[in-house]
């Protein structure tokens, strides 16, 4: 089964595969990252985005699940989780409006379940206009799922000629199928179960309920907890044994499937923090084949937006031999305050497209 069910999610094929529901102003177009008055993105594989104009622009894909190879009986019995992701941002010189509607549909294209968050208005004078993610997971939606409709877009707020409206990219629709997230207990629902505590300094790792003291809400209501760090380094790790998870070594070597990594971090509003992440692809001897280790991030509430931010990376063309994946993250606070004032992490995931 495919990973992302949406075709051309980032605009690499211009507007191919998208139905333009509304195409106002100077109409939809695609542009190269980061674009005029734009923002960089933390996944270097994403190089383009869609941009909207001064009148409403909406585009849609309707996915026929049976045509994609899904078995109707399995869909009705298993009711697999359907994961939705979308990223949007505003230019730094003009505000925008962003809209999203995702619907699960039956064989008659009637709505079974729908995710339609409130439209977002961004004002560069007041808001952080960098790339932000919206995510949602459909579960327990009942039998009958046959189609999925994904529709998003928006416009600018100043009615300026050109493409000053909302910008979208890295849209995704996935089923949780083989399996979905390879990390166990990614959000702290089971306290610290399944995690190896590499460093456990200060008052040590702990979990807390979202949003927590001096904290921020999260864009996915299914994520209700997070891990928090203290005044000395706190690092935790999981090593995923792919053969134990049911992956075939020959398929891994021949297909070299894309490995997607995501993590979310935030700071409290009253204390700065340091965030660290290292993800490694390992061979049978747990020697490194490929590694993603971005620079440490230091967040200062006096200067930075401290809301939840995502780091994402996709490993491709890494060669044969993949057998394990090591995921390690954590950090600490910057003021050495007793308690749990360090970086907060949640929503971690490692998925493989076979």
User: What are phi and psi for residue 250, nearest 5 degrees?
Assistant: -65, -40
Task: State the DSSP string of 39-105.
Answer: ---S-TT--EEEE--SS-EEEEEEEETTTTT--HHHHHHH---EEEEEEEE--SSS-EEEEEEEEEE
| pLDDT band, residue 178 (cuts 50/70/90) | very low
pLDDT value for 295: 92
Output 54 or 128, whichever has higher pLDDT: 54
234 in the Ramachandran plot: left (φ > 0), alpha (ψ -120 to 50) or beta?
A: beta
Gap between the Cα atoms of 48 and 25, Å rounded: 21
pLDDT of residue 66 exceeding 70, the answer is: yes
Average pLDDT over the chain, rounded to whole? 89
pLDDT one-digit tens code per residue, 131-153: 888 888 788 899 999 999 999 99
Residue 1 pLDDT grade (very low, low, confident, very high; cuts 50, 70, 90) = very low
pLDDT at 353 over 80: no
Q: What is the pLDDT of residue 354?
A: 61
Domains 19-175 and 196-352 share a fold: yes
Q: What is the pLDDT of residue 145?
A: 96
- pLDDT at 232 exceeding the cut of 80: yes
Q: What is the pLDDT at residue 177?
A: 43
Instruction: Tell whether the model's pLDDT for residue 170 goes beyond 70.
Output: no
User: Is the pLDDT assigned to residue 199 strictly greater than 90?
Assistant: yes
Q: Return the CATH fold of 19-175.
A: Jelly Rolls (2.60.120)
Q: Write out pLDDT tens, residues 310-330.
A: 898 888 889 999 999 999 999
226: how many CB neighbours lie within 10 A of its CB?
24
The share of the chain scoring above pLDDT 90, in percent, equals: 58
Can you tell me the mean pLDDT for 11-40?
90
> How many whole angstroms separate alpha carbon 128 and alpha carbon 308?
12
Sequence ranges of the domains in the chain: 19-175, 196-352
pLDDT in the model for residue 264? 94
CATH class of 196-352: mainly beta
The answer to whether the CB of 151 falls within 8 A of the CB of 62 is: no
pLDDT of residue 2: 47
Residue 222 predicted with pLDDT over 50:
yes
Q: Distances in Å between the alpha carbon of 90 and those of 9, 44, 54, 96, 164?
A: 18, 19, 13, 6, 8
**Per-residue model confidence (pLDDT) at position 174:** 63
CB 296 within 8 A of CB 282: no
Top-ranked range on mean pLDDT: pick from 72-76, 108-112, 305-309: 108-112
DSSP letters for 16-34 = TT-EEEEE-TT--EEEESS
pLDDT band (50, 70, 90) for residue 169 = low
- β-bridge mates for residue 134, sequence order: 86
């Amino acid at each position: 089964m495919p990973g992302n069910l949406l075709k051309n999610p980032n605009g690499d094929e211009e507007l191919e595969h998208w139905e333009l529901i509304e195409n106002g102003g100077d109409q939809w177009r695609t542009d190269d990252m980061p674009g005029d008055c734009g923002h960089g993105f933390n996944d270097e594989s994403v190089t383009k985005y869609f941009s909207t104009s001064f009148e409403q622009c909406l585009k849609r894909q309707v996915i026929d699940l049976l045509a994609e190879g899904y078995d109707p009986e399995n869909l009705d019995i298993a009711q697999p989780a359907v994961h939705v992701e979308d990223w949007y941002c505003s230019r730094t010189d003009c505000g925008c409006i962003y809209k999203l509607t995702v619907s699960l549909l039956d064989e008659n294209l009637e709505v079974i379940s729908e995710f339609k968050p409130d439209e977002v208005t961004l004002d560069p004078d007041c808001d952080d206009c960098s790339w932000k993610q919206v995510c949602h997971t459909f579960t327990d939606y009942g039998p009958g799922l046959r189609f999925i409709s994904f529709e998003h877009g928006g416009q600018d707020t100043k009615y300026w000629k050109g493409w000053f409206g909302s910008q979208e990219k890295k849209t995704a629709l996935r089923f949780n199928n083989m399996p979905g997230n390879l990390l166990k207990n990614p959000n702290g629902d089971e306290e610290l179960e399944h995690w190896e505590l590499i460093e456990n300094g200060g008052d040590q790792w702990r979990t807390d309920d979202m949003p927590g003291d001096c904290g921020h809400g999260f864009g996915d209501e299914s994520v209700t907890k997070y891990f928090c760090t203290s005044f000395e380094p706190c690092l935790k790790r999981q090593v995923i044994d792919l053969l134990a998870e049911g992956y075939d070594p020959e398929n891994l070597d021949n297909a070299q499937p894309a490995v997607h990594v995501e993590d979310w971090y935030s700071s409290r509003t009253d204390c700065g923090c340091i965030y660290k992440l290292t993800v490694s692809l390992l061979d049978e001897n747990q020697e490194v084949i490929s590694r993603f280790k971005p620079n440490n991030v230091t967040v200062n509430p006096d200067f930075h937006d401290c809301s939840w931010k995502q780091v994402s990376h996709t490993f491709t063309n890494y060669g044969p031999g993949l057998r394990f994946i090591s995921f390690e993250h954590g950090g600490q606070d910057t003021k050495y305050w007793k308690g749990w004032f360090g970086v907060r992490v949640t929503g971690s995931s490692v998925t493989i497209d076979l």
